[in-house]
């Protein structure tokens, strides 16, 4: 805010009163030069910006999620730091990302990875992905940069999101009937020893049969459609309209063997997801596959009664696609903007997925036995789907 002193006012009056007496051309130029120089300085300090989207992938293993949270290691903190070091945003913009209209398409949780996350923000028109990547750790990559409409919001204009969950198939093996009859908590060490053998063989040798795969897909299909998913997240009351979510499909798209362990790849596409929703859906499917709960438990979970559902590990979950069908139809062929499907990046993206995300899932399972310990501690008749009082 400027403050006019009496001296300022007097000087202004002097200039105005003397304007008619200025006849020297040099004097006129002298009066105009500072104005021109100020405009030039402004242009240098504030380059022209446009709205862009960054398509990025990251290994979430060592991060506390996507969303910025001061004092913790997050994907956004590393991204914004790289943008600042690349001189694509100012210090003020780094401190307050509202200045650049920053928005993520999906908020991934702790340890969750992404293959094609989308971020929208305002950046200088000379933005280059290679400049940003030079300032990023190898676990985070920018695969593409595209200009979008000035009011584009990566979250609001997203039509759907596709996730994948990679899980060892031994987690889907049926439980020992005697264990299911247990009325007391089992000793963790004994439980771990029990889970380490399936049908008299090491758990790593377990393989899904074609019939079991068909049964798995039948169970996954029960979770498709529009339902009240209040039991699949936290702090959402059953009567809250936001608990209703639309799942377009949920299926097992493939199985593969790595490090002598068979893995199943579950793919789910929905309009939007709540916190922990997919991981609890996976947990429900595992519980049914192991005969700990029945298929009807899914119907119970969609009802108003509160049910406690364990959360599956975050390790196997990754965001794979963010869909913009309506935007692409309206603006993708207008001659100014590009279609947001990123097919031109597929080869580079898939390489990153296999070299970093998939490799991390497989190696961590083999060395740390994440899923085996999860089954030991959480997937028991007494802890799974236990109805609690609201």
Q: Does 184 share its domain with 305?
A: yes
Q: At residue 121, does pLDDT exceed 80?
A: yes
What residues have CB less than 8 Å from 339, skipping those under 6 apart? Answer: 328, 332, 333
Q: At residue 228, does pLDDT exceed 50?
A: yes
Q: At residue 363, does pLDDT exceed 60?
A: yes
Is the separation of the CB atoms in 75 and 60 below 8 Å? yes
* Residue 42 pLDDT grade (very low, low, confident, very high; cuts 50, 70, 90): very low
| Tens digit of each residue's pLDDT (9 = 90 or more) over 3-26 | 444 444 344 444 444 433 333 333
Paired with 268 in beta bridges are 163, 250
CA-nearest of 92, 98, 46, 38 to 68 is: 98
Cα 284 to Cα 44, 159, 385: the distances in Å are 57, 26, 8
pLDDT at 23 (0 to 100): 35
pLDDT at 150 (0 to 100): 94
Q: Kindly report the three-state secondary structure assignment for every residue of 235-285.
A: CCCCCCHHHEEEEEEEEEEEEEEECCEEEEEEEEEECCCCCCHHHHHHHHH
| Token digits of residue 131 | 């400049």
Q: Does 142 share its domain with 173?
A: no
Asked whether residue 363 is domain-assigned, the answer is yes
Annotated binding-site residue numbers for substrate: 163
* 185-192 CB contacts, 8 Å cutoff, 24+ apart: 185/380, 185/382, 186/380, 188/376, 188/377, 191/376, 191/380, 192/372, 192/373, 192/376
| Token digits of residue 224 | 């498709």
Is the separation of the CB atoms in 173 and 274 below 8 Å? no
Q: Does 122 share its domain with 165?
A: no
Query: b/e string for 250-267 if b means 16 or more Cβ within 10 A?
Result: bebeeeeebeebbbbbbb
Query: b/e string for 155-180 if b means 16 or more Cβ within 10 A?
Result: eebbebbbbbbbbbbbbbbebbeebe
Asked whether residue 166 is domain-assigned, the answer is yes
Asked whether residue 230 is domain-assigned, the answer is yes
pLDDT at 45 (0 to 100): 60
Annotated binding-site residue numbers: 163
Q: At residue 125, does pLDDT exceed 60?
A: yes
Say if residue 246 is exposed, middle or buried (CB neighbours under 10 Å; 0-12, 13-18, 19+): middle
pLDDT at 379 (0 to 100): 80
Q: Does 70 share its domain with 194?
A: no
pLDDT at 180 (0 to 100): 78
Asked whether residue 32 is domain-assigned, the answer is no
| Tens digit of each residue's pLDDT (9 = 90 or more) over 128-175 | 999 999 999 999 999 999 999 999 999 999 999 999 999 999 999 999
Query: What average pLDDT does this structure show over 220-225?
Result: 98
| Pairing, β 317-323 against β 386-387 | unpaired
Angle, vertex CA 206, rays to CA 201 and CA 209, nearest 5? 130
Query: What average pLDDT does this structure show over 64-77?
Result: 94
pLDDT at 365 (0 to 100): 96
Domain boundary among 121, 147, 173: 147
Paired with 208 in beta bridges are none
**Number of domains the chain contains:** 2
Q: At residue 224, does pLDDT exceed 70?
A: yes
What average pLDDT does the structure give for the chain? 88
Q: Does 109 share its domain with 173?
A: no
pLDDT at 35 (0 to 100): 43
pLDDT at 385 (0 to 100): 57
143's enclosing H/E stretch is strand 140-147
Paired with 119 in beta bridges are 54, 104
Domain boundary among 147, 177, 198: 147
Domain boundary among 96, 121, 147: 147
| Tens digit of each residue's pLDDT (9 = 90 or more) over 344-354 | 999 999 999 99
CA-nearest of 161, 160, 184 to 115 is: 161
Distance of CA 7 to the CA centre of its chain: 58
Q: Does 294 share its domain with 239?
A: yes
Query: What average pLDDT does this structure show over 236-264?
Result: 97
pLDDT at 143 (0 to 100): 98
Is the separation of the CB atoms in 371 and 313 below 8 Å? yes
Paired with 140 in beta bridges are 58
349's enclosing H/E stretch is helix 346-352
Q: Can you give the CATH number for the domain in which 71 is found?
A: 3.30.70.580
pLDDT at 389 (0 to 100): 53
Q: Does 62 share its domain with 125?
A: yes
Q: Does 133 share its domain with 210?
A: no
Q: Does 301 share its domain with 171?
A: yes
| Token digits of residue 187 | 């000793």
pLDDT at 70 (0 to 100): 86
Query: What average pLDDT does this structure show over 367-385?
Result: 84
Asked whether residue 89 is domain-assigned, the answer is yes
Residues of the chain above pLDDT 70, percent: 86
pLDDT at 28 (0 to 100): 33
Q: Can you give the CATH number for the domain in which 232 is found?
A: 3.30.70.660
CA 361, CA 355: separation in Å to the nearest integer?
11
Residue 270 backbone phi and psi in degrees, to 5: -150, 165
Q: Does 126 share its domain with 199?
A: no
| Token digits of residue 171 | 């987690």
Which range marks the domain in which residue 79 is found? Answer: 49-147
Asked whether residue 97 is domain-assigned, the answer is yes
* Residue 384 pLDDT grade (very low, low, confident, very high; cuts 50, 70, 90): low
What residues have CB less than 8 Å from 246, skipping those under 6 apart? Answer: 225, 226, 270, 271
| Tens digit of each residue's pLDDT (9 = 90 or more) over 75-90 | 999 999 999 999 999 9
Q: Does 79 share its domain with 224?
A: no
| Catalytic annotation, residues | 109
Asked whether residue 341 is domain-assigned, the answer is no
In this structure, of 216-225, 272-281, 329-338, the range with the lowest mean pLDDT score is 329-338
Q: Does 178 share its domain with 117?
A: no
Distance of CA 287 to the CA centre of its chain: 26
Whole-structure pTM value:
0.85
Asked whether residue 296 is domain-assigned, the answer is yes
């Amino acid at each position: 805010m400027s403050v006019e002193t009496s001296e300022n006012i007097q000087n202004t009056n002097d200039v105005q009163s003397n304007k008619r007496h200025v006849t020297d051309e040099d004097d006129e130029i002298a009066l105009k030069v500072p104005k021109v120089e100020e405009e030039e300085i402004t242009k240098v300090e504030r380059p022209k910006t446009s709205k862009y989207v960054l398509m990025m992938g990251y290994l979430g293993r060592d991060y506390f999620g996507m969303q910025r949270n001061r004092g913790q290691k997050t994907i956004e903190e590393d991204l914004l730091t790289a943008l600042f070091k690349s001189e694509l945003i100012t210090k003020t913009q780094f401190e307050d990302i509202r200045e650049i209209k920053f928005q993520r398409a999906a908020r991934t949780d702790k340890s969750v990875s992404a293959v094609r996350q989308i971020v929208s923000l305002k950046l200088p028109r000379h933005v280059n992905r290679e400049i940003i990547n030079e300032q990023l750790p190898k676990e985070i990559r920018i695969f593409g940069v595209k200009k979008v409409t000035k009011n584009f919001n990566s979250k609001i204009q997203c039509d759907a999101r596709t996730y994948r969950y990679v899980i060892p198939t031994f987690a889907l093996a049926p439980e020992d009937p005697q264990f299911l009859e247990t009325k007391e908590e089992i000793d963790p060490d004994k439980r771990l020893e029990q889970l380490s053998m399936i049908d008299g063989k090491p758990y790593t040798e377990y393989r899904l049969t074609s019939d079991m795969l068909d049964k798995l897909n039948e169970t996954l299909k029960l979770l498709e459609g529009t339902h009240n998913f209040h039991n699949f997240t936290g702090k959402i009351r059953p009567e809250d309209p936001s608990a209703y979510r639309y799942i377009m499909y949920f299926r097992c798209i493939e199985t593969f063997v790595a490090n002598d362990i068979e893995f199943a790849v579950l793919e789910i596409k929905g309009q939007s997801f709540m916190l922990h929703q997919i991981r609890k859906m996976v947990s429900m499917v595992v519980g049914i596959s192991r005969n700990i709960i029945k298929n009807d438990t899914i119907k119970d979970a969609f009802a108003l009664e509160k049910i406690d559902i364990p959360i599956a590990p975050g390790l196997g979950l990754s965001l794979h696609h963010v869909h913009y069908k309506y935007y692409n139809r309206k603006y993708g062929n207008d001659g100014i903007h590009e279609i947001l499907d990123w097919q031109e990046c597929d080869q580079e993206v898939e390489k990153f997925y296999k070299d970093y995300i998939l490799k991390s899932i497989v190696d961590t399972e083999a060395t740390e036995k994440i899923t085996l310990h999860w089954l030991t501690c959480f997937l028991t008749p007494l802890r799974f789907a236990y109805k609690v009082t609201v």
